[in-house]
Amino acid sequence: MVGWENSFPAEMFGTSVSAQAYIKHEIARFNISKTPESVEELRAGGYGAEIESLQAIKPHAIVTTNYDQMLEIIFPDLVPVVGQSILQGAQLSTGEIFKIHGSVENYNGLVFTRSDYETFVSKKKYLSAKLLTFFSEHPLIFVGYIASDPNIQSILSDIDEALPVKGGVIPNVYILEFNEGISGSSSPARERIIQTGDDRSVRVKLIEAREFGLVFDAFAANPALNDVNSKALRALLARSYNLVRHDILE
């Protein structure tokens, strides 16, 4: 029988380690064990065509609540920005993966407990503001969520507050939902009314599909960063930011 002392690193047995650190360590380890090490492994699992369609979108930026590093594998040119780092420093908002609930690379920073979520909710206005700047210039697609997800409701509520006309269709925002029963003869709803609390609701554009590859192909027809090297663009933006900041300080 394997003892607990063999399941965790030695530094986790100090008196300053929080009680939640052990479950977070196990969550991180589980995610790492289940994440493929390369895109080739994903292709071998039968997802090659869908992965290529997703990559072809060349997103301006990605916001995820996932802990794992799957997106870093699929989009190797994008730079992950994790947890509290989003609130600090000067993010360029181009070519970045915003991991708002933390990453397996730092298990202590995972948003998992009730206290973690309360802290996250108290600071989500910044995230909503960032999403607002995104969808004013680019389509904003929620993938892997259902419309009733509290995270979606909360963020859309904040976005709706910033719009001049409340309760209308939020432009340029889509929710992509999996529907195994949909077919060529189906007539799915094109919009979804989402309750955001306090007798308020918003309308967003809804896409239902049993295969996401076709949807990704449609968005890839007009990619945000077509024929642009995101790493080179980030370097150029960072240099421009530093030059401007230097001039202001002088």
Residues of the chain above pLDDT 90, percent: 16
pLDDT mean over 51-76:
89
Residues of the chain above pLDDT 70, percent: 76
Coil, helix or strand at residue 243: helix
Strand order in the sheet with 79-82: 61-64, 96-99, 79-82
What's the longest Cα–Cα distance across the chain?
A: 65
User: CA 249 to CA 108: how far, in whole Å?
Assistant: 36
pLDDT of residue 25: 92
At 88, the pLDDT band (50, 70, 90 cuts) reads: low
For 152-174, how does the pLDDT look when each residue is reduced to its tens digit (9 = 90+)? 777 777 777 766 666 667 777 88
Tokens of 128: 């909503």
pLDDT of residue 231: 55
Residue written as tokens 């809804």? 206
Q: Quickly list DSSP for 14-56.
A: STT--TTHHHHHHHHHHHHHHS-SSHHHHIIIIIHHHHHHHHH
User: The pTM is what?
Assistant: 0.76
Beta bridge partners of 194: 202
**249, pLDDT greater than 70:** no
Give the length of the chain.
250
**74, pLDDT greater than 90:** yes
User: CA 208 to CA 246: how far, in whole Å?
Assistant: 48
For 221-244, how does the pLDDT look when each residue is reduced to its tens digit (9 = 90+)? 875 555 555 554 445 444 444 444
Q: What DSSP designation does 166 have?
A: T
For 174-210, how does the pLDDT look when each residue is reduced to its tens digit (9 = 90+)? 888 888 888 777 777 788 888 776 677 788 888 888 8
Return the top range by mean pLDDT from 24-38, 45-59, 74-88.
24-38
Beta bridge partners of 191: 205
Question: What average pLDDT does the structure give for the chain?
Answer: 77
